Structure 1
Amino acid sequence: MLMMSLLVFLAWSQTVAARSLPDFTELVENNSGAVVNISTTSAPSQKRSGNYPGLPFDERQLEQLPEFFQDFFRGPQSPFGGGPGPAEPRRSMGSGFIVSSDGYVLTNNHVIEGADEIVVRLSDRRELPATLVGTDSRSDMAVLKIEDGDDLPVVKVGRSRELKVGEWVLAIGSPFGFDYTVTAGIVSALGRSLPTENYVPFIQTDVAINPGNSGGPLFNLDGEVVGINSQIYTRSGGFMGVSFAIPIDDAMNVFRQIRDNGTVARGWLGVLIQEVNRDLAESFGLKRPRGALIAEVMAGSPAEDAGLEAGDIVLEYDGDAVELSSDLPPMVGRTAVGDTAKLTVLREGDEITLDVAIGKLPAQDGEQAGVPSGGQGPSPAPLGLAVEPVPSELADSAGLTGGVMVASVGRGPAQDAGIRPRDVITEIHRKPVHSVEEFRQVVSELPDGRAVSVRVVRQGRAIYLVMKP
């Protein structure tokens, strides 16, 4: 009797567990029609080239001969072994989804990049040509328009800002060309920043994504698109449980700009930022690591006009907390050009508020090149390093008005902090340094055993390091 009761209980618990899992069948049936397969064709990157075995001429010279001789030398019957055949067109495949009944389709930029012909295949097996409306490489997005689109099925667009970690999500796409493959998982993390994409706060999931899924939709359990599957993290080339999707809120903003204006304008602050770690937090008087540390303010930028300074730590942007430095670029990028944003920054231990008129992100970020150092011999200094005046050519090229250049680094706090030869030190413990004498004076007043910040300019870029005297 006891065994029977146990079996009944186990069967009941398994049934309850099965019922608690989501059923995706209705979601797939209602939304597959708006998901499309995208195939592209690109012209060969190069014409036929090369020499023919045994012949004293190359492809260019061969093309000057009569067509009969060209066929003879190229053909398999050639006694010289033939030659290189015509280059084949390049083909690729991806996914996408329809967001308007008149045929607008969203996908990834890398799916259609370089394509000469784009064909969209619907779930009813219709194949329709599509034109490229516009792309945005910063978010890896592309907008297509189905030329013969009329009363097409569309997806329901959700709100990615309402997503929660642990929530079920589902992807539909064409991995490896297997059309309308459905995979499911959960949201693993939100607001991920990737090295190649600073302006997209990616959704991380464990949904199986593989080549061919790119550009396809990510659905929530309400059947709403909350993201565009874009990238995976892998060491093998295949899925390893870490996938990334573009939030639909950001994607729709890009879509509307491309549709209406043909291009994308993003907000721009004009600062170089870095993460605030534990040591930096201590040196700046923060109780815990948070915010985005401004290492450099670009000349003529909105940040400079608003009075932001190197060494400020941005704690809030328009009322939203900035916990990580990677939080700030998407916040600024989403702000309309010309709007005023309110920033709360920590400066000299006090929180102040600044209003910044957001500018337009330049088409390409400029970089300053470093210049080899020169000048007079170094002057010995404490902290395990030797410094010297900044050579005039380096000061001019980097736009420096002060500082000292590191001539050598030995054992000591400076080496532990990561200071290198040819770094230019412009500030220590929030005090500016303009000369070797001023450097020595500031160093002599440093507190013992406490982390202090050091601002250095390295290869034209400013960064903050932490040193413990």
Structure 2
Amino acid sequence: MKRLSSLFLVSLMSGATTLGAYKLFIEKGSNRNSIVTEAPSYYGKAVGLGAENIDFTSAADKSVHTVVHVKNVSIRTVYNPIMEFFYGSRGGGQQQEQIGTGSGVIISEDGYIVTNNHVIKDATELEVTLNNKKVYKAKLIGTDSKMDIALLKIDADEKLPYSTFADSDQVRVGEWVLAVGNPYNLTSTVTAGIVSAKARNLDTNGIQSFIQTDAAVNPGNSGGALVNTRGELIGINTMISSPTGSYAGYSFAIPSNITRKIIEDIMEFGNVQRGVLGVVGNELNGPTSKELGIKQSQGYYVTKVIKNSGAEKAGLQKGDVIVKLDNQTISSYPELTGYISTKRPNDKVQVTFIRNNKTQVIPVVLAKNDMINADFKGLELENLDSGDKKKFNIDYGVKIKEVNNERLKPYQNDLKGSIILTIDGVKASDIETVSKIASDKDENQSFNIEMMNKMGQIIRIII
């Protein structure tokens, strides 16, 4: 699967900022305001229908009016290499305007729109064209670069058609779906296919639980809608599998449940609230189970419990096999991370696990992402907070909190406060990523570390 990631290209529609929001509804059993309109609870009950028995026209007609064309304008500085060669300076350079395009989905009648972060990244100006050809300037409300989601807002002179959110956990492999977007700068285009797989891990260092479909998706479709046969939103089209940059068989969408949670966080808190379970491990299969000497061949095998996490406080241990979170069966790492991505800090999750061939259930309170830390080769690490990201102008990395490695003690004043960016060429996105990198390697082996020191300089060390 790791090799598969090299075939994936994020459909760069170019981009910049994100704006968006949703219609406020009250979630069942919760006092939390939601900006998402939910689909009726009958979702997922119709099964066994062949393509000839499904009316695609109704879903297409409903969804094309909720999908928009997003144009972003960004400015880049182009330098003269001849001037640089002769005078050793880049000088002021020449500014050039760049235009990128993508798609977006209207999620409220008052003009909130969800799209991909990469569609609007670095944009200085955003423009949205509705299916009725009306054009509006868009405003960025918030973004989540890790999960590649952005929220925009337009002030329309009328109430807009909008998509309702279905429960993506209920999506079934083999289910018919439609992909709606604006490929190659065309107006809203609809393609049909089936769900090929769920909880697909593409090693993107961000979202690791995609919905995979064989509906044709091409450059320009990014940020568009993946809908079921009732026209309800089940995902945001994000990536394609292709060696050429155009559609070649499979496409991938961020599940609607994850998208919904991100949007609600942006609207309520101004940023994304990430809850962390606090375990590191590997998904089980036949060979792995045989090597570990355990009976279970499905589930998530815990190799390490992160310090100060909810998992540690609840009593989860190395060697436990997690098989269910609440009512969601867990048989792979993407399924685990996908479910946790829909939760917030302090949410309580019922964890079903097997220990010594006995099934147990314990409640785990999810910790806040920036409240946990981990030891890596004698370096105590913590996740970045928003202040660190703003100070260093980065959106990923882990911070060195303490130096306990005796060999590195003489350099602790320089190392403390530095930001680890990559380990062996892999982005150090957060504590869990670092712990997983460490668990996949023998503890006696060395690691190549790229980091940014407190002065903002990039340095490289081997530990």
Q: State the TM-score, normalized to the length of structure 2.
A: 0.67
Match of 2:263 in 1: 255
Question: Residues 270 and 157 from structure 1, CA distance in 2 versus in 1: closer, same or farther, beyond 3 angstroms?
Answer: closer
Match of 2:200 in 1: 192
Match of 2:170 in 1: 162
Residues 219-238 of structure 1: pairs in structure 2 closer than 5 A: 219-238=227-246
Question: Residues 392 and 215 from structure 1, CA distance in 2 versus in 1: closer, same or farther, beyond 3 angstroms?
Answer: closer
Match of 1:7 in 2: none
Structure 2 unmatched ranges of 5 or more:
1-48, 380-403, 411-437, 448-463
Residues 395-424 of structure 1 show CA distances to partners (whole Å, capped at 9, x for unaligned) of 999xxxxxxxxxxxxxxxxxxxxxxxxxxx
Residues 344-403 of structure 1 show CA distances to partners (whole Å, capped at 9, x for unaligned) of 3333443333332211123999783589xxxxxxxxxxxxxxxxxxx9847999xxxxxx
CA–CA distance in structure 2, aligned partners of residues 59 and 324 of structure 1: 50
Equivalent of residue 40 in structure 1, options 60, 63, 72:
72
CA–CA distance in structure 1, aligned partners of residues 167 and 104 of structure 2: 18
Which fold has the larger relative contact order, with Cα–Cα distance below 8 Å and residues 6 or more apart in sequence? 2
CA–CA distance in structure 2, aligned partners of residues 289 and 54 of structure 1: 61
Give the aligned residue type for 2:66.
A
Residues 22-421 of structure 1: pairs in structure 2 closer than 5 A: 22-44=54-76, 46-51=77-82, 60=91, 86-148=94-156, 150-196=158-204, 199-282=207-290, 284=292, 286-362=294-370, 368=376, 393=406
Match of 1:20 in 2: 52
Question: Residues 98 and 360 from structure 1, CA distance in 2 versus in 1: closer, same or farther, beyond 3 angstroms?
Answer: same
- Give the secondary-structure state (helix, strand or coil) at the position aligned to 2:69: strand
State whether residues 163 and 232 of structure 2, in contact with CA within 8 Å, keep that contact through their aligned partners in structure 1: yes
Q: State the TM-score, normalized to the length of structure 1.
A: 0.66
Residues 249-300 of structure 1 show CA distances to partners (whole Å, capped at 9, x for unaligned) of 2211211111222111122022221122324423555434111111222222
Give the aligned residue type for 1:324.
S
- Give the secondary-structure state (helix, strand or coil) at the position aligned to 1:124: coil
Same amino acid, percent of matched pairs: 34
CA–CA distance in structure 1, aligned partners of residues 281 and 288 of structure 2: 13
State whether residues 265 and 337 of structure 1, in contact with CA within 8 Å, keep that contact through their aligned partners in structure 2: yes
CA RMSD of aligned residues (A): 3.6
Residues 181-201 of structure 1 show CA distances to partners (whole Å, capped at 9, x for unaligned) of 221111111221221156452
Offset, 1:177: 1.2
Offset, 1:141: 0.5
CA–CA distance in structure 2, aligned partners of residues 90 and 363 of structure 1: 40
Question: Residues 145 and 285 from structure 1, CA distance in 2 versus in 1: closer, same or farther, beyond 3 angstroms?
Answer: same
- Give the secondary-structure state (helix, strand or coil) at the position aligned to 1:362: helix
Residues 39-95 of structure 1 show CA distances to partners (whole Å, capped at 9, x for unaligned) of 001111x254344699989774xx8xxxxxxxxxxxxxxxxxxxx9x4421211000
Match of 1:457 in 2: 443
State whether residues 51 and 57 of structure 1, in contact with CA within 8 Å, keep that contact through their aligned partners in structure 2: no
State whether residues 284 and 331 of structure 2, in contact with CA within 8 Å, keep that contact through their aligned partners in structure 1: no
Question: Residues 144 and 48 from structure 1, CA distance in 2 versus in 1: closer, same or farther, beyond 3 angstroms?
Answer: same
CA–CA distance in structure 2, aligned partners of residues 56 and 250 of structure 1: 51
Moved over 6 A (4+): 53-59, 363-367, 394-397
State whether residues 306 and 373 of structure 2, in contact with CA within 8 Å, keep that contact through their aligned partners in structure 1: no
Give the aligned residue type for 1:232.
I
Offset, 1:213: 0.2
Give the aligned residue type for 2:276.
W
CA–CA distance in structure 2, aligned partners of residues 370 and 89 of structure 1: 47
CA–CA distance in structure 1, aligned partners of residues 113 and 56 of structure 2: 24
Structure 1 unmatched ranges of 5 or more:
1-16, 64-83, 372-390, 398-424, 427-453, 462-469
Residues 199-245 of structure 1 show CA distances to partners (whole Å, capped at 9, x for unaligned) of 45211100111110000011211121211111111222221111111
Give the aligned residue type for 1:214.
S
Offset, 1:162: 2.6
State whether residues 78 and 96 of structure 2, in contact with CA within 8 Å, keep that contact through their aligned partners in structure 1: no
Offset, 1:20: 1.9
Match of 1:412 in 2: none
CA–CA distance in structure 1, aligned partners of residues 339 and 408 of structure 2: 33
- Give the secondary-structure state (helix, strand or coil) at the position aligned to 1:304: helix
Residues 285-318 of structure 1 show CA distances to partners (whole Å, capped at 9, x for unaligned) of 5434111111222222222222222222222222
State whether residues 175 and 211 of structure 1, in contact with CA within 8 Å, keep that contact through their aligned partners in structure 2: yes
Question: Residues 100 and 18 from structure 1, CA distance in 2 versus in 1: closer, same or farther, beyond 3 angstroms?
Answer: closer
